[in-house]
Amino acid sequence: MAEILLIDHVGHRGDGVALVEGHAVYVPYALAGETVEVAEVHGHPDRRRLLAVESPSPERIAPFCKHFGVCGGCAIQHWQMERYRAWKHALVVETLRHAKLDCEVAPLIDAHGNGRRRITLHARMDTHEVVKVGYAAASTHDIIPIDHCPILDPALERALDAAWALSEPLIATGKPLDIQATATDNGLDVDIRGSGPLQPKLIAALSRVAEHHRLARLTRHGELVLLRAQPTVAIGKAKVTLPPGSFLQATAAGEETLAALVKDHCGRAKHIADLFCGVGPFALRLAERARMAAFDADAPAVDALAKAAHAPGLKPIKAEARDLFRRPLVPQELRDYDAVVFDPPRQGAQAQAQKLAASRVPVIVAVSCNAATFARDARILIDGGYRLECVTPVDQFRYTPHVELVARFTR
């Protein structure tokens, strides 16, 4: 049954929020002040589906993508850019305020640049045995077929055609596939997951598709199917060969922005630890003027970093595979460093923050993709005697509610 709601504000996931008898009700793609016609969403009493905007906000704009509102990728393309940016900045301000962290939040830095350089596409067969390749629809497992995605780096756009073509021979496996593609300096690096081990006939068919689409590398769950060129990315003075499926910041501009802030915050430190280093976007740049020790649980990423560390003009980098949740660096080990950088996954770095809080490291730089877990870890550092000097939000996931931040702590 249709219902009319007045939207009160835009929530932290980008949905319009209406207050119904004191309870929040979430309406995706609605803006503050709008009166909207909505329908119930089965199984989600606090969500509604937008049917029509009866009185649009003056801040509403036309989305630029034909898939917007269906594909589940972007949450916000329908809001004036300045208002969107203010909302994103406020997400960080509010999270810090809620955690009683007293600190100025610098203006949001836009880091969309040329767009996303990594995507994961999903391929499924529908009931008529037709392959669908695209993104998962918002709040469901349905696949929305995608043939164009304007938020991608132009170098990644070709991955859509390649993913459709790679899915065709795999249809026979009847398995749902995840196809991860990364734009590298030598072309697309594609890893297919979900198919299970493949017969030689299928490998040959996939290799032909990879050749035809001029992929740099095709792997199946990390196992090589075809290598035309090593997939490398330039990081500062170094060149890193990416392990299949390894982490890379979503946009090149995002990586450069985060790395520039990290470098600036480390100041004149001469010996720095980079925790949760990945393939080394911070360590390899910081090594231009400091000795580095880099740690991450992803052994292939650490190995790739160690190999890239031999580039001329870099100070020594010691790279170690280590699970920092189970075995965080302890205060005695941390004594070696005059700055520590940590950039954990979304769940944050609680165990490592506790050890850092008990250390004497003079400068700590936190990079985070989750303001809530950052706030928790920041509180641990502050309770250990650190001062939170500054927080800078960075927007590399434009049109989504995700926001990165970089913060500096000193003691």
Q: Residue 41: is it exposed, middle or buried by C-beta count within 10 angstroms (0-12/13-18/19+)?
A: middle
State which of positions 250-269 bind ligand SAM (CB under 6 A): none
351 lies in the binding site for ligand SAM (CB under 6 A) = no
Q: Provide the minimum distance between the beta carbon of 325 and ligand SAM in the complex, in angstroms, as a whole number.
A: 4
Catalytic residue check, 71 = no
365 lies in the binding site for ligand SAM (CB under 6 A) = no
State which of positions 301-320 bind ligand SAM (CB under 6 A): 301
Q: Residues touching ligand SAM: how many (CB under 6 A)?
A: 19
404 lies in the binding site for ligand SAM (CB under 6 A) = no
Nearest alpha-carbon partner for 252 in 182, 304, 300: 182
401 lies in the binding site for ligand SAM (CB under 6 A) = no
Q: With DSSP H G I counted as helix, E B as strand and the rest as coil, what are the percentages for the chain, rounded to 5?
A: 25, 35, 40
377 lies in the binding site for ligand SAM (CB under 6 A) = no
Chain residue at closest Cβ approach to ligand SAM: 278
CA distances to 132, 204, 250, 255 from 162, in Å: 13, 15, 20, 26
In this structure, how many other beta carbons lie within 10 angstroms of the beta carbon of residue 242? Answer: 23
**At CB < 8 A and 24+ separation, what contacts does 168-171 make?**
168/131, 168/209, 169/202, 169/205, 169/206, 169/209, 170/123, 170/195, 170/202, 170/206, 171/125, 171/129, 171/131
State which of positions 24-63 bind ligand SAM (CB under 6 A): none
Site string for ligand SAM, 220-249 (x = CB under 6 A): ---------------------------xxx
For ligand SAM, the closer CB: 48 or 118 = 118
Cβ atoms of residues 396 and 257 within 8 Å: yes
Q: Provide the minimum distance between the beta carbon of 274 and ligand SAM in the complex, in angstroms, as a whole number.
A: 7
Query: Which amino acid, residue 360?
Result: R
Site string for ligand SAM, 274-293 (x = CB under 6 A): --xxx--xx-----------
323 lies in the binding site for ligand SAM (CB under 6 A) = yes
Residue found under tokens 């936190």: 366
Question: Active-site residue numbers?
Answer: 369
Residue ranges binding ligand SAM (CB under 6 A): 247-249, 276-278, 281-282, 296-298, 301, 323-325, 343-345, 369
